[in-house]
Structure 1
Amino acid sequence: MAGRPEVAKTELGERLRAIRKTMGDLDREEFASRLGISAQVLGKIERGDSEPDLAVLAAYRSEFGVDLNWLATGEGEMFSANSPTAITIPAARTIGTTIDWVGKLVFQVYRDEKVAVPQGAAIGIVSAKVVELMQHAGPSVVDLNNVAALLPWLEMKIRAELKEAADQPGTGKHSA
């Protein structure tokens, strides 16, 4: 069964949908829950079939830092300048991109080294490598150029760890 098209009937509905998209296109259920409404109600207000009440507008402000002037008029910035959300959205995008890059790197190195990723361990391995990269980068981790510059370092580190594990008897880390 096909879902309804993502076309809003009102400018307010368009702006409400734009918020969720900007936040990384969060799942409707999760987003609605944070607003204290059902996914069905969220769908209706994003389509422009109904308007949010004051409690929902307040939740947009408190949960996501949405500038209510922008929401009402479309003028100004989507997020309040002093909102923690205004700071965390770019950081979330950087973290998401970093996770993607590190995940691809981990799988490529394991494939190149002919080592099987242990079943059910992929998320843990990628997460650990993301944390290592972020710790090594320090505050510069918020800049994707700095993250990209550290990927060769991480690749060499992963290759060295796999080689060391393969050289140790009984580790179970051997070529696939």
Structure 2
Amino acid sequence: MNLQEIGKRIYHFRTQILNLPQHDFAQRIGMGQSNVSSVEKEQTLPGCFFIWCLHTTYQIDLHWLFTGEGEPLYQQPVSAGIHLDQT
């Protein structure tokens, strides 16, 4: 897992996939622009709440976010429910 590149991936996601200015992106996930800026510049790692907001707001693929592997967006809708194996 390459945590040092999370900021670069978030920047790529915001600018290349969503095409949003930093202020709008931050507002939609309920974060301050300075927080998003700090993460994108890799000055700080995003916290759990930041990541959860990205995931629930934009359906960002967490595997891609943490590793850079795969696609930035889930190919199937994300379910908020917990599924237990009944076997």
TM-score (ref. length: structure 1): 0.40
Greater share of helix residues, 1 or 2?
1
2:67 to 73, 76, 87: 73
2:29 to 27, 35, 50: 35
Bigger-Rg structure (1/2): 1
Where structure 2 has 5 or more consecutive residues not aligned to the other structure, the ranges are: 79-87
% same residue: 27
Q: Over residues 72-94 of structure 1, what are the superposed CA-to-partner deviations in whole Å (9 max), with x where a residue is unaligned?
A: 0011110000148xxxxxxxxxx
Q: How far off its partner does 1:20 sit? A: 0.3
Equivalent residue, structure 1, for 2:18: 23
Q: Over residues 50-109 of structure 1, what are the superposed CA-to-partner deviations in whole Å (9 max), with x where a residue is unaligned?
A: 01111110111111110001000011110000148xxxxxxxxxxxxxxxxxxxxxxxxx
Letter in 1 for 2:63: N
Equivalent residue, structure 2, for 1:12: 6
Size of the aligned set, in residue pairs, is 74
- Quote the Cα distance in structure 2 between the aligned partners of 1:44 and 1:83: 29
Aligned-CA RMSD value: 1.3
Q: Which has the higher contact order (CA 8 A, sep 6+)?
A: 2
Q: Give secondary structure in 1 for the equivalent of 2:65.
A: helix
Kindly report which structure 2 residues correspond to 1:144-159, keeping only aligned pairs within 5 A, or say none: none
Alignment of 1:49 with 2:33, yes or no, is no
Kindly report which structure 2 residues correspond to 1:1-176, keeping only aligned pairs within 5 A, or say none: 10-21=4-15, 22-24=17-19, 26-83=20-77
